């Protein structure tokens, strides 16, 4: 079981970062964003596009060639692209819907449509092939009591640092406080002095940037696939719910726990020969949490029924 | 005990650290028209929620007709003859006024899947009687012309009337009215008040939460005052008017 | 006033549907009947499923995103109860129930699964219920995929169609031969549309009934339903069972249309397809999904041609992607510009709930 701990931590950090992003967006806008996975995939696909060598001809129906940039710069650009994408979604799609008083459920269905649309755009342009970042292969090493490659260890560390910084920003900056105020009260009008449209816009941008980062993590650890975001979306929901919807710290811990549980459950005795069902374990836990402790591990008690 | 229709014994409910309701002993007799008043946040609506089963108490007991109904499902309490309305009017928005009443008047037996799919004659007969009854009530309440409108198209006051109509179609023994006059224009408020008095005269036991003190003083037979969840006064209107505790509670609120 | 409006919408929907069928002939000078049969078979099956979903969402307001699992339970239970072959080795099971007995048990199992999935609805509202139902449906799919010894896992189930095809009347064969159809698909198609006909009659009876009225009341305000002495939980569970049973039937038909059954059929995208059809036809209507489904499948089946024009060097998977992409656009477009769909009443628009 312990040999899976390293894998669990890695899956956990992906889900964790993505859950923090989802949770923040839900907290501020009350949107259950089914297209969250597509923003994650965008992070990975954009990085692939920026960093692949110029002669890499798999992408984009041979119509465009990759840019062949330095990998780190590619990652930074990709995160910015995700932020831009999120901002555009808010300005051109979700803000008009909000102004027209479209209900939450209708918006949820819109995000489903958006997810299907964007995901298949990726299929068209990034092909259905499984692809990898242009990085050399590395051997696993043992750190403390888990195994992973040095690169994946870096991913883990970067992920933790990013979340700490994000937590600090949310706690100590004026904007972060405003976001949390909106999230905790559920009332946009509760914040005076800051334009609520701007708060939502910045929430979309930062949530999307975090999601894009999660996508880069996922692609570095595993690979790039057009539907990679949708495959992990339900686990992200599970992480968010487990930690307590609307709490960033909860989403962070919940995401890590879900990742570890998914991977470690492979080693459980009754799971022998049933590795396919590992995600089912996490989803089952999520359902039980929603039914019996809907506020999650860290959430405040709130009536959701 | 015997002529107490509802009694409350040591009923407690708090949210977080905040005490919402803490009532030692309180009972209501058959046929009484009682108003429950108190400053905002006094726990009036929570008190209603507790006795109608919409929230469960932390401790204590509520009994209806001598039966303990703590932790009983709201619908079961309603079937025992105690029907409530809500502070924020709850009508079935996207159903017509007529449908609102038919649904409320129809008993569960009539609602059954099997009967509905077989369309038995007994159900048809039941429905046509129900329709007559609904028409009667609508014309009594002056909303007959709205029968085929969707409930969402009604004005705030008309919704209050509809909710009231819905509550009385099954001839309940006890009616809990949560702010029946809130947001209603003065003319309609008059009508609702006289309707409540009329209902009370037919022997229905009525409990009413209401902020309009003037109206409360005018029609209540008894007034119960809550403040910060506790009972601070209980008596006929004239006693309450001069009760120092009550005046203090209200003045204290004005002080804020 | 409303009845005139409704009949206008009905005529308009009929017109659009007829036009889209005409389009099939226009775009396919050769082999239009065969394409049309394929399209109408899928339209019938998905339309039936959407009718079931409408009982959940349109009538009762339950945000069910696990619809694919109801179809899956119906299909798997029915097939496994009949003679079939399953798994990597194609292990043959020769004994089993006759088709109709298995079908009834399959539908019953789907309804029971509906009851199970409905339990969370006792406690959860709107978006939370959506997440739980989609997760539960994924758990179902993952378990079916994993229990290879029973369900055939990723290798699926084969050799079961005879159980149903042996009831095929002779006139189908004669008729199909003349038009160049596959007679077995024609038989499935007929079964799907007969199922729709019966289901619609059934639901028409129920929608005006006190039971249907009670479901709509639950959709509007559960607390008020309780305050009127009605058991809202039981009503929701009944709704879940009825809709799931209908979906189960459609799942069985889908299995017979494919000829072999795999778990990948029941991915969440199937649920989203059915949602798109329901919204297109009109949430809360009974016959809306029928029109919605036909139009939907005309769009789906004619996009391949469009995709070829747009992307000359795309592969098969990508071409299929174009139709999914279009489904996404359709869902968004409808939600934003015409949430009441073809037949839905604006006054009863359900999707604007806060």
- The per-residue pLDDT for C5 is 64
Question: CB C213 to CB B102 under 8 A?
Answer: yes
CATH code linked to domain B29-91+156-256: 3.40.50.300
Mean pLDDT over residues A106-129, rounded? 90
**Is C194's pLDDT higher than 90?**
yes
What is the rounded average pLDDT for all residues in chain B?
89
Give the predicted TM-score (pTM) of the model. 0.91
* Cβ-based contacts of A237 with chain C (< 8 Å): 131, 135
- The per-residue pLDDT for C4 is 64
List the beta bridge partners of residue B82.
B174
Question: CB C224 to CB B92 under 8 A?
Answer: yes
A288 in contact with C, Cβ within 8 Å = no
3-state SS track over C261-295: ECHHHHCHHHHHHHHHHHHHHCCCCCCHHHHHHHH
- The per-residue pLDDT for B2 is 54
**Is C82's pLDDT higher than 50?**
yes
Q: Do the Cβ atoms of B231 and B243 come closer than 8 Å?
A: no
Q: Which has the minimum average pLDDT: B232-246, C177-191, C209-223?
A: B232-246
Q: Note the pLDDT tens digit of each residue in C17-58.
A: 999 888 888 888 877 888 899 999 999 999 999 999 999 999
Mean pLDDT over residues B68-72, rounded? 90
Structure tokens at C201: 């009659």
In angstroms, the CA B133 to CA A138 distance is 81
Q: Which has the minimum average pLDDT: A162-171, A177-186, A275-284, C274-283?
A: A177-186
CA distance A263 to chain C (A): 15
Chain B residues with CB within 8 Å of chain C CB: 52, 54, 73-76, 78-79, 83-86, 90-95, 99, 102-104, 106, 108, 110-113, 115-117, 119, 123, 127, 150, 152, 166-167, 170
Q: Note the pLDDT tens digit of each residue in A29-58.
A: 889 999 999 999 999 999 998 998 887 766
Task: Provide the b/e sequence for C207-221 (b: ≥16 CB within 10 Å).
Answer: bebbbbbbbbbbbbb
Question: CB A109 to CB C352 under 8 A?
Answer: no
**Is C1's pLDDT higher than 50?**
no
In angstroms, the CA A148 to CA A217 distance is 14
In angstroms, the CA A156 to CA A137 distance is 17
Question: CB C223 to CB B117 under 8 A?
Answer: no
Nearest Cα neighbor of B33 from B183, B248, B237 is: B237
**Residue written as tokens 């073809």?**
C342
Return residues 244-283 of A near C (CB < 8 Å).
274, 276-277, 279-280, 283
Identify the chains in contact with B, defined as 3+ C-beta pairs within 8 A.
Answer: C
Interface test with C, best of A116, A117, A289 (most C CBs within 10 A): A116
Whether residue C308 lies inside any domain: the answer is no
Of B78, B103, B127, the CB nearest to C226: B78
Whether residue C9 lies inside any domain: the answer is no
* Cβ-based contacts of C63 with chain A (< 8 Å): 105, 108
CB pairs < 8 Å spanning B and C: 111
Sign of the torsion angle spanned by Cα atoms B203, B57, C217, B142: positive
A115 in contact with C, Cβ within 8 Å = yes
Structure tokens at C102: 């298995």
A230 or A270, which is more confident? Answer: A230
**Is C116's pLDDT higher than 50?**
yes
Q: Do the Cβ atoms of B89 and B154 come closer than 8 Å?
A: no
Q: Note the pLDDT tens digit of each residue in C5-16.
A: 668 888 888 999
Identify the chains in contact with C, defined as 3+ C-beta pairs within 8 A.
Answer: A, B
CA distance C295 to chain B (A): 28
Give residue B254's pLDDT band: very low, low, confident or very high (50, 70, 90): very low
Give residue A61's pLDDT band: very low, low, confident or very high (50, 70, 90): low
CA distance C218 to chain A (A): 14
What is the rounded average pLDDT for all residues in chain A?
85
- The per-residue pLDDT for C261 is 93
Q: How many CA atoms lie within 13 A of B188 on its CB side?
A: 18
Residue B213: what are its φ and ψ, rounded to 5°? -60, -40
Question: CB A61 to CB C315 under 8 A?
Answer: no
Whether residue C24 lies inside any domain: the answer is no
**Is A252's pLDDT higher than 50?**
yes
**Is B255's pLDDT higher than 60?**
no
**Is A253's pLDDT higher than 80?**
yes
Nearest Cα neighbor of C139 from C263, C224, C253, C227 is: C263
Mean pLDDT over residues C105-125, rounded? 90
Q: How many CA atoms lie within 13 A of A155 on its CB side?
A: 27
Question: CB A117 to CB C325 under 8 A?
Answer: yes
* Cβ-based contacts of B150 with chain C (< 8 Å): 347-348
Question: CB C205 to CB B102 under 8 A?
Answer: no
Give residue A100's pLDDT band: very low, low, confident or very high (50, 70, 90): confident
Nearest Cα neighbor of C215 from C112, C123, C284 is: C284
Question: CB B106 to CB C202 under 8 A?
Answer: no
Give the pairing type, strands B82-84 and A146-148: unpaired
DSSP A301: P
In angstroms, the CA C335 to CA A116 distance is 14
**Is A179's pLDDT higher than 90?**
no
**Residue written as tokens 């378990």?**
C143
Of C226, C242, C347, the CB nearest to B94: C347
Question: CB A109 to CB C125 under 8 A?
Answer: no
Mean pLDDT over residues C102-120, rounded? 95
Q: Note the pLDDT tens digit of each residue in B198-236.
A: 999 999 999 999 988 888 999 999 999 998 888 988 988
**Is A210's pLDDT higher than 80?**
yes
Mean pLDDT over residues C173-195, rounded? 91
DSSP string, C204-257: HHHHTSHHHHHHHHHHH-HHHHHHTT--HHHHHHHHHHHHHHHHHHHHHHHHHH
CA distance A144 to chain C (A): 34
A285 or C195, which is more confident? Answer: C195
Mean pLDDT over residues A174-187, rounded? 75
- The per-residue pLDDT for A117 is 95
**Is C319's pLDDT higher than 90?**
no
- The per-residue pLDDT for A155 is 93
CA distance C197 to chain B (A): 16
Return residues 146-205 of C near A (CB < 8 Å).
146
DSSP string, A192-238: -SS-HHHHHHHHHHHHHHHHHHHHHHHHHHS-B-TTHHHHHHHHHHH
Structure tokens at C253: 């038909």
Residue A146: what are its φ and ψ, rounded to 5°? -135, 160
- Spatial CB neighbours of A116, under 8 Å, sequence gap ≥ 6: C269, C272, C324, C325, C327, C328, C331
Count of beta carbons in the 10 Å neighbourhood of residue B12: 16
A231 in contact with C, Cβ within 8 Å = no
Beta strand spans in C45-203 (E) = 84-86, 91-93, 157-158
Domain containing C132: what range?
Answer: 32-266
**Residue written as tokens 């107490």?**
B4
- The per-residue pLDDT for B74 is 93
In angstroms, the CA B243 to CA A155 distance is 71
Nearest CA in chain A to C147: A274
Return residues 36-55 of C near A (CB < 8 Å).
none
- Terminal CA-CA length for chain B: 41
Of B74, B92, B116, the CB nearest to C212: B116
Q: What is the percentage of chain A residues whose pLDDT exceeds 70?
A: 88
C351 or C178, which is more confident? Answer: C178
Q: Note the pLDDT tens digit of each residue in C265-283.
A: 999 999 999 999 999 999 9
Question: CB A304 to CB C128 under 8 A?
Answer: yes
**Is A226's pLDDT higher than 50?**
yes
Nearest CA in chain A to C330: A113
List the beta bridge partners of residue C140.
none
Q: Note the pLDDT tens digit of each residue in A123-149.
A: 888 888 888 888 888 888 888 777 888
- The per-residue pLDDT for A141 is 81
Question: CB C128 to CB A97 under 8 A?
Answer: no
Q: Note the pLDDT tens digit of each residue in B147-197.
A: 999 998 898 889 999 999 999 998 999 999 999 998 888 888 998 999 999
In angstroms, the CA A282 to CA A243 distance is 13
**Is C252's pLDDT higher than 80?**
yes
Secondary structure of residue B119 in the 3-state scheme: coil
Interface test with A, best of C58, C129, C142 (most A CBs within 10 A): C142
Secondary structure of residue B236 in the 3-state scheme: coil
Q: What is the percentage of chain C residues whose pLDDT exceeds 90?
A: 59
Cβ neighbourhood burial of C46 (10 Å; 0-12, 13-18, 19+): buried
**Is B256's pLDDT higher than 80?**
no
DSSP string, C42-78: HHHHHHHHHHHHHIIIIIH------HHHHHHHHHHHH
Q: Do the Cβ atoms of C250 and C65 come closer than 8 Å?
A: no
Mean pLDDT over residues C287-293, rounded? 95
Q: What is the percentage of chain C residues whose pLDDT exceeds 70?
A: 94
Identify the chains in contact with A, defined as 3+ C-beta pairs within 8 A.
Answer: C
In angstroms, the CA B122 to CA C177 distance is 51
CB pairs < 8 Å spanning A and C: 147
In angstroms, the Cα distances linking C17 to C282, C324, C339 are 14, 21, 18
- The per-residue pLDDT for A302 is 47
Q: Where are the domains of chain B?
A: 29-91+156-256, 93-153
Question: CB A106 to CB C335 under 8 A?
Answer: yes
In angstroms, the CA B191 to CA C6 distance is 38
Cβ neighbourhood burial of C297 (10 Å; 0-12, 13-18, 19+): buried
Secondary structure of residue A261 in the 3-state scheme: helix
Nearest CA in chain B to C230: B75
Interface test with B, best of C220, C222, C346 (most B CBs within 10 A): C220
**Is A291's pLDDT higher than 90?**
no
Determine the length of chain C. 354
B82 or A180, which is more confident? Answer: B82
C290 or C2, which is more confident? Answer: C290
- The per-residue pLDDT for A104 is 84
CA distance C271 to chain A (A): 11
**Is C347's pLDDT higher than 70?**
no
- The per-residue pLDDT for B200 is 93
Nearest Cα neighbor of C196 from C54, C332, C52 is: C52
Secondary structure of residue B29 in the 3-state scheme: strand
Of C336, C352, C354, the CB nearest to A110: C336
Q: Do the Cβ atoms of A264 and A279 come closer than 8 Å?
A: no
In angstroms, the CA C258 to CA C185 distance is 9
* Cβ-based contacts of C339 with chain A (< 8 Å): 106
Nearest Cα neighbor of B80 from B94, B69, B88 is: B69
Question: CB B111 to CB C230 under 8 A?
Answer: yes
Q: What is the spatial order of strands in the sheet that B222-227 belongs to?
A: B82-84, B174-178, B205-209, B33-37, B222-227, B230-235
**Is B29's pLDDT higher than 50?**
yes
- The per-residue pLDDT for C165 is 93
**Is C354's pLDDT higher than 50?**
no
C231 in contact with B, Cβ within 8 Å = yes
Nearest Cα neighbor of B86 from C213, C229, C227 is: C227
* Cβ-based contacts of C231 with chain B (< 8 Å): 73, 75, 108
Question: CB A113 to CB C146 under 8 A?
Answer: no
Give the pairing type, strands B59-64 and B67-68: antiparallel
Give residue B1's pLDDT band: very low, low, confident or very high (50, 70, 90): very low
- The per-residue pLDDT for C139 is 94
**Is B252's pLDDT higher than 70?**
no
- The per-residue pLDDT for C183 is 92
Secondary structure of residue B205 in the 3-state scheme: strand
Our count of domains for chain C comes to 1
């Amino acid at each position: 079981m312990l040999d899976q701990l390293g894998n669990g931590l890695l899956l956990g950090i992906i889900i964790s970062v993505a859950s923090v992003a989802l949770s923040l967006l839900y907290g501020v806008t009350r949107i259950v964003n089914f297209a969250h996975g597509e923003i994650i995939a965008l992070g990975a696909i954009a990085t692939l596009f920026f960093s692949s060598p110029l002669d890499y001809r798999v992408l984009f129906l041979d119509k465009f060639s990759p840019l062949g940039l330095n990998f780190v710069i590619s990652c930074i650009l990709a995160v910015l692209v995700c932020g831009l994408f999120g901002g555009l979604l808010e300005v051109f799609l979700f803000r008009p819907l909000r102004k027209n008083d479209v209900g939450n459920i209708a918006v949820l269905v819109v995000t489903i449509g958006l997810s299907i649309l964007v995901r298949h755009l990726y299929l068209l342009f990034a092909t259905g092939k499984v692809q990898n970042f242009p990085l050399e292969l590395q051997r696993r090493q043992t750190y403390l009591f888990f195994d992973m490659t040095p690169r994946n260890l870096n991913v883990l560390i970067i992920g933790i640092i990013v979340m700490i910084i994000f937590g600090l920003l949310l706690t100590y900056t004026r904007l972060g406080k405003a976001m949390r105020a909106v999230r905790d009260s559920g009332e946009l009008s509760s914040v005076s002095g800051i334009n609520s449209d701007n708060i939502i816009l910045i929430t979309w941008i930062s949530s999307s940037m975090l999601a894009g980062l999660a996508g880069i993590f996922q692609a570095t650890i595993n690979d790039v696939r057009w539907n990679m975001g949708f495959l992990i979306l339900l686990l992200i929901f599970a992480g968010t719910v487990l930690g307590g919807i609307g709490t960033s710290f909860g989403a962070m811990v919940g995401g890590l726990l879900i990742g570890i549980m998914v991977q470690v459950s492979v080693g459980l005795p009754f799971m022998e020969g049933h590795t396919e069902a590992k995600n089912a374990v996490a989803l089952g836990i999520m359902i039980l949490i929603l039914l019996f402790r809907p506020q999650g591990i860290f959430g405040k008690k709130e009536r959701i029924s | 005990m015997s002529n107490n229709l509802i009694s409350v014994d040591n009923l407690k409910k708090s949210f977080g650290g905040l005490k919402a309701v803490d009532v030692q002993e309180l009972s209501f007799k058959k046929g009484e028209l009682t108003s429950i008043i108190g400053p905002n946040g006094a726990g009036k609506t929570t008190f209603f929620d507790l006795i109608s089963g919409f929230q469960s108490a932390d401790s204590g007991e509520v009994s209806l007709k001598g039966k303990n109904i703590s932790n009983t499902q709201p619908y079961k309490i309603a079937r025992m003859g105690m029907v409530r309305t809500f502070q924020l009017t709850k009508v079935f928005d996207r159903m017509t006024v007529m449908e609102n009443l038919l649904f409320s008047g129809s008993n569960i037996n009539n609602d059954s899947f099997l009967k509905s799919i077989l369309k038995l004659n007994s159900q048809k007969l039941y429905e046509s009687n129900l329709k007559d009854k609904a028409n009667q009530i609508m014309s009594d309440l002056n909303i007959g012309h709205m029968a085929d409108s969707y409930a969402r198209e009604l004005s705030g006051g008309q919704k209050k009337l509809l909710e009231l109509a819905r509550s009385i179609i099954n001839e309940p023994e006890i009616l809990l009215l949560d702010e029946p006059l809130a947001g209603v224009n003065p003319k309609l408020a008059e009508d609702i008040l006289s309707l409540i008095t009329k209902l009370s005269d037919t022997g229905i036991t009525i409990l009413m939460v209401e902020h309009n003190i003037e109206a409360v003083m005018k029609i209540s037979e008894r007034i119960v005052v809550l403040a910060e969840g506790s009972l601070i006064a209980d008596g006929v209107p004239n006693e309450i008017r001069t009760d120092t505790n009550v005046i203090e509670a209200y003045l204290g609120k004005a002080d804020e | 006033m409303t009845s005139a409006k409704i009949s206008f919408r009905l005529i308009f929907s009929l017109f659009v549907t007829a036009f889209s069928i005409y389009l099939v002939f226009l775009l396919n000078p050769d082999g239009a009947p065969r394409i049309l049969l394929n399209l109408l078979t899928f339209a019938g099956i998905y339309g039936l499923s959407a009718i079931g979903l409408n009982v959940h969402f349109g009538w009762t307001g339950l945000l069910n995103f696990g619809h694919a699992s109801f179809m899956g339970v119906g299909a798997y239970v029915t097939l496994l109860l009949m003679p079939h072959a399953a798994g990597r080795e194609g292990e043959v099971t020769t004994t089993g129930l006759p088709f109709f007995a298995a079908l009834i048990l399959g539908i019953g199992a789907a309804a029971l699964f509906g009851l199970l999935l409905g339990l969370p609805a006792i406690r959860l509202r709107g978006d939370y219920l959506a997440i739980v139902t989609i997760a539960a449906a994924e758990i179902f799919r993952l378990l079916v995929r994993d229990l290879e010894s029973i369900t055939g896992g990723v290798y699926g189930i084969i050799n079961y169609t005879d159980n149903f095809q042996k009831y095929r009347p002779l006139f189908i064969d004669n008729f199909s031969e003349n038009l160049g159809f596959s007679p077995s698909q024609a038989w499935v198609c007929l079964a799907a549309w007969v199922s729709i006909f019966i289901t619609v009659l059934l639901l028409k009876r129920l929608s005006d009934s006190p039971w249907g009225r009670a479901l709509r009341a639950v959709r509007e305000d559960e607390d008020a339903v309780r305050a009127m002495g009605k058991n809202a939980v039981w009503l929701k569970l009944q709704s879940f069972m009825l809709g799931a049973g209908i979906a189960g039937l459609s799942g069985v038909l889908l299995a017979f249309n494919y000829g072999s059954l795999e778990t990948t059929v029941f991915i969440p995208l199937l649920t989203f397809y059915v949602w798109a059809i329901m919204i297109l036809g009109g949430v809360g209507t009974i016959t809306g999904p029928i029109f919605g489904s036909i139009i939907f499948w005309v769009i789906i089946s004619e996009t391949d041609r469009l995709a070829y024009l747009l992307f000359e060097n795309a592969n098969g998977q990508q071409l299929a992607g174009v139709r999914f992409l279009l489904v996404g656009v359709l869902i968004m477009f409808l939600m934003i510009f015409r949430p009441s769909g073809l037949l839905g009443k604006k006054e009863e628009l359900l999707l604007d709930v806060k």
